[in-house]
Chains A and B, each alone.
Chain A
Amino acid sequence: MGPLFERGEDGERLFAFIVDERHVGEDGTVHEGMMLTFADAFLGSAAHRGADGKTCVTLSLQASFLKGAKPGDLVVCHPKLERKTRAIIFVSGRFSVGDEDVMTATSLWKVIGER
């Protein structure tokens, strides 16, 4: 599904992918499945970092599809660590193309081995 891009030092970190023909559904915009897969990968990466490198698995992910992205668009993910406890991490994310948001997502992660 890639390539997926990652940029930044500790703290602010950006993730991105460029939409191509493989990613679109019947209506010519990115398939929800691709957007969710992208969100899972990158919000998961933010959760993993928030858990100090421990393995995290997705418990729940909610996404709102504001606008369809098209082939050629660079979709950028801006993750935000909302809260972390020992066993649970809350991560939200804004996904934009240029100045416009195309998706917002919130997610909940379990840190494996912690309780």
Chain B
Amino acid sequence: MSSTQVDTSGFGGYAGPVFRDGDAFTFEIAEHHLNGADRLHGGMMMTLAAIVLADVAKDAAREKEAEAQVRALSLNCDFVSAGEKGETITGRAEVTRATRTVLFISGELRAGDRILMTATGVYAIKGPDET
């Protein structure tokens, strides 16, 4: 399967590029993603989790309505281990439950076998015209 770049317009662009190949999201840690201690910046890691969870949420919402949008209501991120420069991060997420208006998403970021972050999010499903 070919890989596509996830749409990270605006702020999400700082976290990128993020690529998606089926269920797997990949991202390489570069110099500008590091914090003062030369590890992957915590804000960056949460941004990456937010991008992965939102993309999976958007897919789930659009299975029912082609133009649907999602909005994050809540995100919970646990910092399991640190990321180093040059590592390739793989992100995955799945829908835990979908109701008509709300999606529960759960995911994780890994470097090889090592888990960097586990994350859960709750998303509201909106029609194309709702704000």
Contact = CB atoms under 8 A, between A and B. Distances in A.
Interface string B40-57: 011110111011001000
B73 A36 contact: no
Interface stretch (B6-14, B96-104, B105-113): B6-14
Interface size range on B against A:
20 to 34
B9 A26 contact: yes
A51 B11 CA distance: 32
Interface in B64-79: 69, 71-79
B15 interface: yes
Contacts of A61: 42, 46, 76-77, 79
Contacts of B69: 27
Contacts of A27: 69, 71
B51 A33 contact: yes
Of B43, B46, B54, chain A has the most CB atoms within 10 Å of the CB of B43
Contacts, number: 91
A104 to B, nearest CB: 10
B50 A60 contact: no
Nearest to A34: B11
A30 B75 contact: no
Nearest to A63: B75
Contacts of A41: 43
A105 B73 CA distance: 12
A34 B7 CA distance: 16
B78 A32 contact: no
B122 to A, nearest CB: 9
Of B11, B12, B74, B79, chain A has the most CB atoms within 10 Å of the CB of B11
Given A33-B48, A37-B43, A57-B82, 15 more contacts: A22-B10, A22-B11, A25-B10, A25-B12, A31-B47, A32-B47, A36-B43, A36-B47, A37-B46, A40-B43, A41-B43, A44-B42, A60-B76, A60-B77, A63-B74
Interface of A: 1, 21-27, 30-34, 36-38, 40-41, 44, 57-65, 68
Closest 5 pairs between A and B when the two form their complex, measured CB to CB: A37-B43, A33-B47, A31-B11, A36-B46, A62-B76
